[in-house]
Amino acid sequence: MTTQTERSQQTTAEEEKLTDELQLISLLKQHGDILQKHPELLAELEVPHQTEGAVSLIERQVGVLREKLKAGDSNLCELMDIARVNERLANSRHRIATNLLGAHDLVDVISVVLDELKNELKAEFADIKLFSDNIELAEKHPGLFVSTDAQELNQFSTMLKQKNPVCGRSSPEQNNFLFGDKAVEIASAAVIPLVAGAELGLLGLGSREADRFQTSMGTEFLSQIGELVSAALAVHLEK
């Protein structure tokens, strides 16, 4: 049976051992090159492996370094992917801007924008709705113009006022307005307000994939495209 004195001695021994270990850890931290100066110590040191057997300290260190390198490579690959996406979007924006400068009329402007965005953003559906009370324009471009006091525009009022693109799941009414008989196929959409002084219209991109356009995605590229398209439309609408 263990006596009180023996228990006290055992506790004291454990405390001294812990103190010695802490001192040793502190010493190793202060002299990180000690194993380089005394390589013979490696023959005496072993670290239990997570699975079975034992590995030397140097093997364990190599393993840790490999894990760090893998994590670093993963982060680098992620950054490179982001850089490639940004470069691709910048090239797309440049193509749109250049082609808009050479656009001869509204049809050219709309064709340039819809073709580029459908290809670049992988949108199966794309359409533009412009606002005007000009009867001649409406007759010349059937399906393109809607009246400025159309009731359907109320559901886009906040978006137009804030001039911010919106991504995610649009309401059935919004999809019907933007995509017509294709609305039933839209699982996610991006809607870009076209504003240049006045509210000119809306640009809609639709996808059959529910996660193609998400509320969490960045909209800076879409905002910039909206500004370019709005400026080009304003020029041709004034003619």
Establish how many alpha carbons lie within 13 A of residue 200's alpha carbon, considering only the half-sphere containing its beta carbon: 22
Domain boundaries, the chain: 77-237
Q: Which amino acid is at 117?
A: L
Look at residue 138 in the predicted model and tell me its pLDDT: 84
Q: How far is CA 67 from CA 60, 62, 79, 90, 126, in A?
A: 11, 9, 19, 35, 45
Of the listed ranges 22-31, 101-110, 115-124, 148-157, the least confidently predicted one is 22-31
* Per-residue model confidence as pLDDT tens digits over 163-195: 999 999 999 999 999 999 999 999 999 999 999
Kindly give, in sequence order, each residue whose CB lies less than 8 Å from that of residue 141, ignoring residues fewer than 6 positions away: 106, 107
For residues 175 and 186, is the Cβ–Cβ distance under 8 A?
yes
* Per-residue model confidence as pLDDT tens digits over 94-140: 999 999 988 888 999 999 999 888 888 888 999 999 999 988 888 88
Kindly give, in sequence order, each residue whose CB lies less than 8 Å from that of residue 210, ignoring residues fewer than 6 positions away: 169, 187, 188
For residues 175 and 187, is the Cβ–Cβ distance under 8 A?
no
Domain spanning 77-237 has what CATH number? 3.30.450.40
Q: Is the pTM of this model over 0.75?
A: no
Mean pLDDT of the chain: 82
Residue 37 phi, psi (nearest 5): -75, -30
Task: State how far the Cα of 98 lies from the Cα of 86, in Å rounded to an integer.
Answer: 18
